[in-house]
Amino acid sequence: MTVPRAIRKVWRSRPTIEGAGVHLKRAFGNQEVPLLDPFLLLDDFRSDDPSKYLPGFPWHPHRGIETITYVLEGNVEHGDSMGNRGDITPGDVQWMTAGSGIIHQEMPRPKNPEDGFMGGFQLWVNLPSSRKMTDPRYQEVQRARIPEVEPAKGVKVRVISGEVGGVRGPVRDIAADPEYLDVRLAPHAVFEHPVKRGHTAFSYVLQGKGRFDLDSGIVDSENLVTFHDGERMRVEATGENPLRFLLVSGRPIREPVAWWGPIVMNSKHELEVAIEEYQNGTFIKRGGRRVPPT
């Protein structure tokens, strides 16, 4: 018999201002390290007020981590120190491995200027020490390449990485062996899904209400749910409205975390080196590469 994952803790995302003045909700960040190892941060930047997101995230460095941008509505214009430029459009995912270093910018824009709504999520994943100075790269995944499966009645799942019902997501070859799912349940529908034992797992509720284990209370939108270890998840949509949530899991790194803004290393000395290199212009080590569409 498989061991169900019980809820460990639930907390509400907190308002935060980042970049040049972007108002967002932080589901977790450095206050939660190492509770969510290897995950470092999850930001919810959904808004219908352009003044809250148009300032964007101008040029800034990253080293030692991966950043995953998942856009639901609107566009995120991006550019980087390697000369890459483009748009992340609704339903797209950009999985960026910063590795040894990259400098980039991300500028949210509404899909329709008339209504102003745009939104999505950015997740940061730590890299193990053996990969912190690897070449930077992108996996850019357009909406059409992300499969949607229906493993049970009233259940739809977009599989960004990992596997559901024998269908694998397009993002692969990631150090943390992650699973990243966007799950939608009709009212009263139930989603059951295996999660690797020993992996850290969390859910973030986008809309609706649900019960994330058999013995705990109901969780509503903009709350993060963390879980004890186990082998299987069970989620039920409660009430008369649909439930939508992200389900993310990955293998813990269990290494020291030294964190300065967008740079995450293993020691204070490594941070000091990174900051000095950024200031003297030697931060970028390699040109990087893109993973072409398949």
Residue 262 within any structural domain of the chain: no
Unique residue bearing structure tokens 């899909």 = 111
Residue 1 within any structural domain of the chain: no
The pLDDT value recorded for residue 287 is 56
CATH number at residue 74: 2.60.120.10
Residues 6+ apart with CB under 8 A from 201: 5, 195, 226, 227, 233, 247, 248, 249
Domain housing 229: 7-250
Spatial distance between the Cα atoms of 285 and 262, rounded to a whole number of angstroms: 17
Cross-strand bridge partners of residue 235: 191
The pLDDT value recorded for residue 37 is 98
| Residues 96/67, Cβ–Cβ less than 8 Å | yes
Residue 270 within any structural domain of the chain: no
Q: What are phi and psi of 280, to 5 degrees?
A: -100, 5
Domain count, the chain: 1
Spatial distance between the Cα atoms of 275 and 61, rounded to a whole number of angstroms: 10
Spatial distance between the Cα atoms of 8 and 96, rounded to a whole number of angstroms: 30
pLDDT digit string (tens) for the chain, length 294 residues: 789 999 999 999 999 999 999 999 999 999 998 999 999 999 999 999 999 999 999 999 999 999 999 999 999 999 988 888 889 999 999 999 999 999 999 999 998 777 789 999 999 999 999 999 999 998 999 999 999 999 999 999 999 999 999 999 999 999 999 999 999 999 999 999 999 999 999 999 999 999 999 999 999 999 999 999 999 999 999 989 999 999 999 999 999 999 999 999 999 999 999 999 999 999 998 654 444 443
Residues 55-80: b if buried by 16+ CB within 10 A, e if exposed? bbbeebbbbbbbbbbbbbbbbbebeb
Residue 189 within any structural domain of the chain: yes
Record the tokens describing residue 132, joined without a space.
């912190």
Q: What does the DSSP assignment read for the chain?
A: -PPBPPEEEEEE-EEEEETTTEEEEEEE-GGGTTTTTTEEEEEE--BS-GGGTTT-EEEEEEBSEEEEEEEEESEEEEEETTS-EEEE-TT-EEEEE-TT-EEEEEEEE-S-TTT--BEEEEEEEE--GGGTTSPPEEEEE-GGGS-EE--STTEEEEEEESEETTEEPS----TT--EEEEEEE-TT-EEEEE--TT-EEEEEEEESEEESSTTS-EE-TTEEEEE-S-SEEEEEEESSS-EEEEEEEE-------EEETTEEESSHHHHHHHHHHHHHT-------EEE---
Residue 274 within any structural domain of the chain: no
Could you give the count of Cα atoms lying within 13 Å of 12 in the half-sphere of its Cβ? 4
The pLDDT value recorded for residue 293 is 42
Q: What is the signed CA dihedral for 294, 206, 257, 67, rounded to 10 degrees?
A: 30
* Predicted TM-score of the model (pTM): 0.95
Record the tokens describing residue 286, joined without a space.
């390699």
The pLDDT value recorded for residue 292 is 43
Residue 280 within any structural domain of the chain: no
State how beta strands 57-62 and 39-44 pair: unpaired
